[in-house]
A and B are shown apart, each in its own frame.
Chain A
C-alpha cells in the first residue's frame, strides 16, 4: 500500500467528492498501525477485533465464575456478600452470553463467512464496524455499573416485577435494561449485514446447497437474531419506561401482568439459546469432515436440521415457564414441541458420528475439541429433554440441575465448538499454527475440569440445592460436591491459561502454516494465510460442494481418492503479479455514531436531558457524516473500471470517477 504516490490525487479529489462535514475531518486511509484498528472496515480485522474483545470478556466472566465457586466451595462461605454475589452471578451470565459466546460466534462469522462464500468483504463494511463498536461500548457501559453504584443483580432473565423500581431501587437494573438494549442494536445491525452478505454476495456457482455448513448456520442464526432482537427490545423498552418514566406495564397494583415479561423475555430467550449453539454446530460441521478426510455425512440433513431448529426454536419458549402455571393445554403443547426439537438436533449428532465413522481420522486439537463438543452436547441435550417432562421440570426448576444443563450446552457445547474453531482457523487468520501438543493438554484439562465442575451439579440439583443462593448450611449433604466443583473450576481456569500460553509461544515460534495446513475442503483455504485485504485476487467460480477438495482430488473408477495432477492454474498467475482491487476505505464515523449511544444511556439513567441531547447529536453527526461520505474514497485506490461486485452497499451510491489505472498511476509517479 504505497500511499505516498497517491497523495497528489488526494488533494485534487477531496474537494469535489468529500462532503463538507467530512472535509474538516480527513478521511483515514492507513491500513496498518494501532490507529487503523479504530477506523478499519475490513471484515477480517473486525473479526479479529470481535474475537480479541470477546476473549477479554471471557477472562472477566471466568474470574466472576471463580469468585462464585470460591464463595460456594465451603458451607457458609464468606468471600462475597449476598448483594455482591447477586451482582457477580448476574454479570457472569450476561457476560458469557452477550459479551462472549455471541461476539465470538460473530467474530468467526465475520472473518470466515465472506471467505467461505468467495466474497471480498461483507455487504456493508461500515455497518459492520458500527456493530462491533456498539458491542464494545455496550459491554463497557454494562461494566461501568460496577463503578456507578452496583451492577445488575436480577439474574440474566431479570424477572419483572421483581426488577421494577419498587423492588429494585438504585441504578443496577437501569444498566441492565439500557446495556442490553445497546448490545441488541449491535446484534441487529450485524444480523442485517450478514444476512445480506450470505444471500447476495456468494461467488458464481455457490448455490445455497453448495454453501459450507458454517455459513448456513450463520445464516440461520442471523435470521433468529433479526426476529428475536426486536422482541427483547420491546420487553426492555417497557421495563425502561416503568423504571424511568413511571408507566404501569409491570405494576401489579395497577393490573400489570407479571407473565408479560416472562413471555416476551423467553420468546427472545429461547431462540437466543439456538443463537448461541448453532454457530458452534457450524464450526464442528466444518472440522469433523476435514479431520476425518470424508465429506460431511448427509449434508442436506445437517442443513435442513439447522433450519428446522431455527423454526422450531420459536415454539418452545414456555418450557422456561412451566413453574409459572400456564394451564394444562399450553403446558402440554410446549412439552411436546420441546420433545420434538430434540429430533433435528439428534439428526445432526448422528450425521457427525457417521462423518467420523470409517474416516481416516487425524486426532489433532481441533478434532478433539469438536468431539468434545459432540459428547458434552449430547449430555446437555439429554438433560434438556428431561425438562420437557413437566412434573420433572417443576422439580428441577431453579435448582442446580438447570445450571448443570445449560453449562453442558453452553460451555460443553458452544465453548468447546468455538475452541475447535480457534485451533482450526488460527493458521488461516494469523499465518502460523497453534502448538498441537499444548492444545491437546488444554483439551484434556478442560474436559476433566468441565465435567468435575458441572457434572456434580446434576446431583446437587436433584438433591434440591437451589440456584442463586449465596450460602448453604453445613448439614445439607452438598459440601463435598460443591468442593469438587470449585476444584474443577480452577482446572478449567488453568486450561484457559494454557491456551493463552499456547498463543504466546506459537506467536513467538511463528511456524508458517501455509495456505491449506489441514488439507481442507472449503474456499477460505484457497487463499493465502492470512488472506490479502481483498481476499481473492480472482473471485473463485464454484463447481461443487467442498469446492477446494474437488480442485485437489479426484476419484478413480474404484472410488479411490487421488490428487489432481498439478496444472498451472490461473490463480497462481494472479498471485505472481501485484493485484489492485478496489476496496472500501476506512472510516471514523461508525465509531463516532456508536459513541452516541452510551451517552444517551447515561442521560436516561441520571435524568439529564442535556446529556441525552448531546448523545443524540453525536449519534446524528456520526450517521450523517457516514451517509454523506462515499463508501470508497477515490484517492485511496484507483480503480481501472467500474467493478460490479465490490461491496459498496451502504450509504448512497456515489459514482466513482472513471480513471484509468495506467493514466493515474503514471501521472502520480
Chain B
C-alpha cells in the first residue's frame, strides 16, 4: 500500500485549505458561549418566577424579616473576588507558570467553597427561622433560585478541582490554557448571574 503517496496527497490538501475553523474561534469556545447563552434563559426564567411571586406570599416569614444583607454582602464579595483569582490562574497558565496557576486555581475553588458554605449556613438559619421550601411562595421561589445558582457554583468548584488534579499529574500545561479559559468563562458567568440575583432578590425592597 502506498502510504507515502497518500500521505503526500492529503498533506497537499491541507496546505490548500489552511483554515482551522470558519470563524477563527475554536469549536469548544463557541460551544461554551452557546451553552452560556442557553443558561441565560434558564436563570432568566427562574428570576422571572421569583419576581412574579414577589410580595404574593400569603403567610410569613417575609423577605425583610429574614434577610441578613451584611452577611450576604460579604459572601457576595468573596464570590466576586474568586473571579479575580480565576483571571490570575488563566494569566499564569498562559505564561507557563504552572506553580502559580495551581495556587490561583485552588484559591478560586476555596473562595467558591466559602461562598457555597456561606449559602448552606444562610439556608440553615432561614430554616431555623421558619422558612422552608413548603412555607410560602417566597420560600419556594427563593430556595429554588438560589439553590440552582449554588448548584452551578458547586459544579464550577468540581471542575476547578479537576483542573488542579490534572495539573498535579502534569497534564495541564500552557498548551491547555484554553481549557482553563473555558472553565473561567463558566465561572465568570456564574458570578455575573449572582450579581443579578443579589440585586434583584436581596437589595431591591419588595
Contact = CB atoms under 8 A, between A and B. Distances in A.
Those 4 A-B pairs whose CB atoms lie nearest each other, nearest first = A649-B27, A640-B7, A234-B45, A247-B140
Interface string B10-25: 1101101111111101
A196 B31 contact: yes
27 contacts: A124-B27, A188-B38, A191-B38, A192-B38, A231-B45, A234-B49, A245-B133, A246-B134, A248-B137, A248-B140, A249-B140, A254-B58, A254-B59, A255-B53, A255-B56, A264-B49, A539-B13, A578-B2, A624-B162, A641-B14, A644-B19, A644-B20, A652-B171, A661-B6, A661-B7, A662-B3, A665-B3
Interface stretch (B67-75, B172-180, B192-200): B172-180
Given A260-B52, A650-B28, A661-B3, A201 B34 contact: no
B49 A201 contact: no
Interface stretch (A30-38, A222-230, A334-342): A222-230
Nearest to B35: A192
Given A123-B27, A640-B7, A248 B134 contact: yes
Interface in B61-102: none
B57 A645 contact: no
Contacts of A249: 49, 53, 137, 140-141, 144
Contacts of A655: 175
A328 interface: no
A141 B140 CA distance: 28
A150 to B, nearest CB: 26
Interface string A235-260: 10110010001111100001111001
Nearest to A242: B140
Nearest to B178: A653
A193 to B, nearest CB: 7
B11 to A, nearest CB: 5
Contacts of A241: 133, 140, 144
A144 interface: no
Contacts, number: 172
A13 interface: no
Contacts of A234: 42, 45-46, 49
Given A195-B30, A256-B137, A652-B171, 7 more contacts: A123-B27, A192-B35, A231-B41, A241-B140, A624-B162, A641-B11, A645-B19
A645 B133 contact: no
B145 to A, nearest CB: 10
A124 B31 contact: yes
A230 B140 contact: no
A660 B9 contact: no
> By DSSP majority rule, is chain B's interface helix, strand, loop, or mixed?
helix
A666 interface: yes
Given A248-B137, A249-B140, A579-B10, A201 B21 contact: yes
A420 interface: no
Interface of B: 1-7, 9-11, 13-14, 16-23, 25-28, 30-31, 34-35, 37-39, 41-42, 45-46, 49, 52-53, 56-59, 133-134, 136-137, 139-141, 143-144, 148, 162, 166, 171, 175-176, 178-179
Interface of A: 123-124, 188, 191-193, 195-196, 199-204, 206, 226-227, 229-231, 233-235, 237-238, 241, 245-249, 254-257, 260, 264, 537-539, 541, 573-574, 577-581, 624, 627, 640-641, 643-645, 647, 649-650, 652-653, 655, 660-662, 665-666
Given A229-B38, A230-B38, A234-B45, A577 B28 contact: no
A450 to B, nearest CB: 36
Contacts of B7: 580, 640-641, 660-662
A199 B42 contact: no
A254 B1 CA distance: 76
B14 A666 contact: no
Which of A196, A241, A649 has the most chain B CB atoms inside 10 A of its CB? Answer: A196
Contact of B22 (A201, A580, A650, A652): A201
Given A201-B21, A249-B49, A255-B56, A577 B2 contact: yes
B93 to A, nearest CB: 13
Contacts of B21: 200-201, 645
A193 B28 CA distance: 10
